[in-house]
Amino acid sequence: MEDKFKVLIVDDNPENLNVLYNLLQEKYNVFAAERSELVVDMAVSHMPDIIVLDIMMPGLNGYQVCENLKSLETTKDIPVIFMSALSETIDIIKGFEVGGVDYITKPYQKEVVLHRLWTHIDLAKSKKEIVNFNNALIHKVNEKTSELEERIEEITRMNHVLRESEDKYHKLFSSAPEGILIINASTTEVIDANSSAVELFNTTFDSLLDKKQDQLFLSQFGKLSDIDQSSQKVATSNMVFRNKIIRDDGDELDVELTSRLILIEGEMCQQVTIRDITKQTQYENGLKEAKRKSEELNELKSAFLANMAHELRTPLIGILGYSQILTEEIKEDGLVEMIEGIHNTGQRLLNTLNLLMDLSMLGEKNHTFKAVPINISEILRDVCEKMEPKAEKKSLTFFNELIKDDLFILGDERMIKSIFVNLTNNAVKFTENGSVTLKSSIKKDADKELIEISVKDTGIGISQAKIDLVFEEFRQESEGISRDYQGLGLGLTLTKKFVDFNKGQIYVVSKKNAGTEFTVTFNLINK
């Protein structure tokens, strides 16, 4: 029963209703209404597929019922077939005007009714299907439309973001403090430039665009073909190099270029960043010049020292010669001491000048000397013999803590002796009370043996601030009281150089007013 179509039949005449019911009930699920007032309610509750409606009825007539049905959303699509004894054209037309789909006049033929009924049900069914299909279509279209709208919205949003970022990058490009050129790598023509680049070239944007790479830079830095031949790495990584740019007014400007290859709209391009390094170059050149000058001055100083020393040495030889003659000739008391004084002082002066010459000689680049096996123990004994009287003269205690065995090192005898004479001399010179100690010991270092010689005093010491400077030329720590300790300040410089030349090491430990200890080490050899 459920599968059958539903038909609502309306007639105030029970007999007519009955006949119709019987006619239809076999094929349809039939609902019948005798009173026209019930029709709308029944239509709403049963939702028939079609309604067969009598016109002339007490109360509401069929036209009115039809109009009511058509005015309701739920029932307006239910097809209504009028069935009436009224057969005037005007009645029939009215039936259609109020929304009927057909008009059957009574008396009727059963088959006609069945056919027409079926036709309209079928029509309504089709119509419903079409409507449903249409609705589904509309629904789909709406769905797609809203999907599209979302896409459009997203694209718009992306466009906006893109434009913002493009804007940002354009600002970065155009307002960068470095000049930036975009050069087509195959034609070498400039295709874009920022305002800093325009300024650097002292030109206009338009005239910059006309130029080729070789019109802008003093030395060329590779066309695409050059870069292709080199490795991929070169092509993708930044190349930084110095160059000069040629400005519009013909001036040249020192610049640092950073070049890298980038793809712009399928074209291989060079992005060249230009940094003005005129100031930096000037500064560097100034530094180089200053360095050259100071080296020149240093050489001049060495040459001057050497010449001075030679110059002063010459008459000293005569003074020493004369004093030697006078020592022989004059035997008078008082005068002998004076002549000896002249001779000894002259000799010391000569030694100092020889030291000065050694210093300038060591400054010469191509100086060489021969290292031979020498007995360092013997040298140290000589130093002790020579220095002990000097210490005693100043009432200082002189401690000799040297190893008695003969020990050998490779070196230059005169230099080695000079090292310890200098250090001991300084110790005596800068100590007013206490002692001077000369000590040697053997140290094992890895597979070799070292001799460690220390010269220790209880003198004025060296302040921490100046301890690193003591080996520099012409420095003497006690500047404030230097009159008490006259000397050229050459001793330690030479000592250090002599130690270096003989492949030794020298250290100093000192504390202001608490004494100084110099330690020198040399590699021992077997002899």
Q: Is the peptide bond before 107 cis (omega within 30 degrees of 0)?
A: yes
Q: Which residues within the stretch 350-409 sit at the binding site for another protein (CB under 8 A)?
A: 350
* Least spacing, CB of residue 402 vs another protein, in Å: 29
Q: Which residues within the stretch 317-356 sit at the binding site for another protein (CB under 8 A)?
A: 317-322, 324-325, 328-329, 350
- Name the packing angle between helices 413-429 and 376-393 (round to 10°): 20
Q: Show Cβ contacts of residue 423 under 8 Å, excluding neighbours closer than 6 positions.
A: 455, 495, 518, 520
Tokens 């944007």 sit on residue: 205
Alpha carbon of 159 to those of 64, 167, 174, 199, 263: distances in Å? 61, 12, 22, 33, 22
Q: Which among 430, 452, 423, 421 is positioned nearest to 439, based on CA atoms?
A: 452
Nearer to another protein, 66 or 306 (CB): 306
* Least spacing, CB of residue 455 vs another protein, in Å: 29
Is 315 a binder of another protein (CB under 8 A)? yes
C-alpha–C-alpha distance, residues 212 and 466, integer Å: 60
Is 414 a binder of another protein (CB under 8 A)? no
Residue of 219, 225, 314, 366 interacting with another protein (CB under 8 A): 314
Residue of 46, 125, 247, 313 interacting with another protein (CB under 8 A): 313
Q: Where are the beta strands (DSSP E) in 227-331?
A: 239-246, 252-264, 267-276
Residue 405 carries which DSSP code? S
Q: Which among 475, 363, 493 is positioned nearest to 419, based on CA atoms?
A: 493
Tokens describing residue 69: 């049905």
Tokens describing residue 227: 């870069």
| Backbone torsions φ then ψ of 501, nearest 5 degrees | -65, -30
Nearer to another protein, 286 or 341 (CB): 341
Nearer to another protein, 307 or 513 (CB): 307
* Least spacing, CB of residue 488 vs another protein, in Å: 18
Nearer to another protein, 239 or 319 (CB): 319
DSSP string, 459-493: SS---GGGGGGTTSTT--S--TTGGGG-S-S-HHH
* Least spacing, CB of residue 307 vs another protein, in Å: 7
Binding mask 249-288 for another protein (x = CB under 8 A): ----------------------------------------
Residue 5 carries which DSSP code? P
* Least spacing, CB of residue 384 vs another protein, in Å: 25
Give the chain's end-to-end CA distance (angstroms, integer): 134
Nearer to another protein, 261 or 309 (CB): 309
Binding mask 43-72 for another protein (x = CB under 8 A): ------------------------------
Amino acid at 15: E
* Least spacing, CB of residue 313 vs another protein, in Å: 4
* Least spacing, CB of residue 364 vs another protein, in Å: 13
Contact region with another protein (CB under 8 A), list: 120-128, 197-205, 236-244, 313-321: 313-321
Task: Determine the 3-state secondary structure of 313 from DSSP.
Answer: helix
Q: Where are the beta strands (DSSP E) in 265-338?
A: 267-276
User: 278 near 251, Cβ under 8 Å?
Assistant: no
Q: How many degrees, rounded to 5, is the angle at CA 329 between CA 323 and CA 334?
A: 75
Is 167 a binder of another protein (CB under 8 A)? no
Tokens describing residue 187: 């034609």
* Least spacing, CB of residue 426 vs another protein, in Å: 26
Nearer to another protein, 117 or 353 (CB): 353
Contact region with another protein (CB under 8 A), list: 122-130, 311-319, 335-343, 513-521: 311-319
C-alpha–C-alpha distance, residues 258 and 201, integer Å: 16
* Least spacing, CB of residue 387 vs another protein, in Å: 23
Nearer to another protein, 89 or 368 (CB): 368
* Least spacing, CB of residue 318 vs another protein, in Å: 4
Q: Which residues within the stretch 462-491 sit at the binding site for another protein (CB under 8 A)?
A: none
Number of residues that bind another protein (CB under 8 A): 19
Contact region with another protein (CB under 8 A), list: 263-271, 310-318, 412-420, 489-497: 310-318
* Least spacing, CB of residue 487 vs another protein, in Å: 22
For residue 13, how many other CB atoms are within 10 A of its CB? 13
Which residues in this chain contact another protein in the complex, by CB under 8 A? 306-307, 310-311, 313-322, 324-325, 328-329, 350
